[in-house]
Amino acid sequence: MIRLLAAMVAALLFAGSSFAQSNDSGEKVSPFDVTPLFGIHSGQHSYEIAFRYYEELGGDTVIASGRSKLEFPLDGSRFGVRLGWNLSPEAKSDWFAEATILTAMSDPSESMIDSDWESLPETAPEILWSYTESGATNNQFIVDVEIGRHVHRKTNFNLALVFGLAYHRFEQDVLGFNGWQIFEGERYNISGSGVVGYYRATYIMPNAGLKLQSRLQKGLAFNLAVKGARMFADDYDDHILRGKDSESSPSGFAGMGRFSLRLDAFETDKSKYFVELWGHGVAMSADGKQTQTWYRDEMGRDPNSGEPIVVVEKGTVISGIPITLESEQYGIGLGLGLSF
């Protein structure tokens, strides 16, 4: 992916032709932009499931309830490229478009967190009985495509309607764990090493909103876009330690925003070079149903004898588990661009 982005940037940087046009004021405006992007990203993605089950309590069988939440870190550095057409506030055309591609360059510094709560019986207060932290790798790929049309134009101010489609995908290997669990009223420390899990999530978000373009002074422009999105997600969780995988396809909504401050650096007969400060943020939530499938026997120990026993048989399927996906992501960075 990095090689592909580099090839795209290089091809445009060395383009020998200029497509510059003149606007109504006679200024030369280059319609095409290519901007390599470098940034720092923070945020997290989580999913939470809720369930009910039967449990022995004081010689009776009662209904208990449980809740499990997994939080995946999304911090780290990113590299990408943005391709644009008529993005300058001085552009003559009312129409404009852009496409941004970003990919992760580093693993998260934050931990992946796995928390489990239980109410036994379900009318009892909820108790956090298991908590672990793990390391994680980071493989992210983001594509954001947008087209817009100016609906209000002044000399130094433009307001536009924008429509877009965003595709976000990330996957992580979960590495080791360290934490504690409560068993029969006693708290025990637990730990492990190696790859203990794998998680993947994909979001597809058709979106629409408003974009403000402002020419603060000659060679300095500010852009701000705010959009709402419909969110369609797919996720997959391989719980290697328990020998089961979980899948869901929830849907929901998202809010998206981004800004840029662009400063023209210098220009030649054929092109213009600029520096850009950019930032973006997205908050999303989706609900659906999860299906869990055991691909091998899940082993445990008999509480009386301590002997190994099968607690869930291979091939067991549990479906219809309520799930909520939530994510908040923010980023800021620099771009070094070329207009031609």
What pLDDT, on a 0 to 100 scale, did the predictor assign at position 336? 93
The enclosing domain of 48 has a CATH number of 2.40.128.90
Does residue 306 belong to any structural domain of this protein? no
Is residue 183 pLDDT above 90, yes or no? no
Does residue 304 belong to any structural domain of this protein? no
Q: H-helix or E-strand containing 108?
A: none
**How long a stretch of residues is the chain?**
340
Does residue 188 belong to any structural domain of this protein? yes
What pLDDT, on a 0 to 100 scale, did the predictor assign at position 155? 79
Give Cα 284 to chain centroid, integer Å: 9
What pLDDT, on a 0 to 100 scale, did the predictor assign at position 12? 47
pLDDT tier for residue 3 given thresholds of 50, 70 and 90? low
What pLDDT, on a 0 to 100 scale, did the predictor assign at position 138? 92
Does residue 168 belong to any structural domain of this protein? yes
> Of 88-92, 180-184, 290-294, 319-323, which range is least confident?
88-92
CB half-sphere exposure, 312, CA atoms < 13 A: 14
Per-residue pLDDT, averaged over 205-219, amounts to 93
Does residue 242 belong to any structural domain of this protein? yes
What pLDDT, on a 0 to 100 scale, did the predictor assign at position 58? 76
Does residue 46 belong to any structural domain of this protein? yes
**Beta-bridge mates of residue 104:** 78
The range of the structural domain enclosing residue 73 comes to 2-15+30-290+320-339
0.85 cut: is pTM over it? Answer: yes
pLDDT tier for residue 28 given thresholds of 50, 70 and 90? low
What pLDDT, on a 0 to 100 scale, did the predictor assign at position 24? 52
Question: Which residue type does 340 have?
Answer: F
What CA–CA distances, in Å, run from 285 to 5, 117, 203, 210, 224?
30, 21, 11, 21, 23
Q: H-helix or E-strand containing 331?
A: strand 317-339
Query: Mean pLDDT for the chain?
Result: 90
Plot region of 176 (φ>0 → left; ψ -120 to 50 → alpha; else → beta): left
What pLDDT, on a 0 to 100 scale, did the predictor assign at position 229? 98
CA-wise closest residue to 99 among 48, 159, 35? 35
Does residue 313 belong to any structural domain of this protein? no
The runs of H, that is alpha helices, within the chain are: 2-13
pLDDT tier for residue 228 given thresholds of 50, 70 and 90? very high
Does residue 104 belong to any structural domain of this protein? yes
What CA–CA distances, in Å, run from 17 to 21, 36, 79, 88, 152?
13, 20, 27, 19, 32
Domain tally for the chain? Answer: 1
pLDDT tier for residue 53 given thresholds of 50, 70 and 90? confident
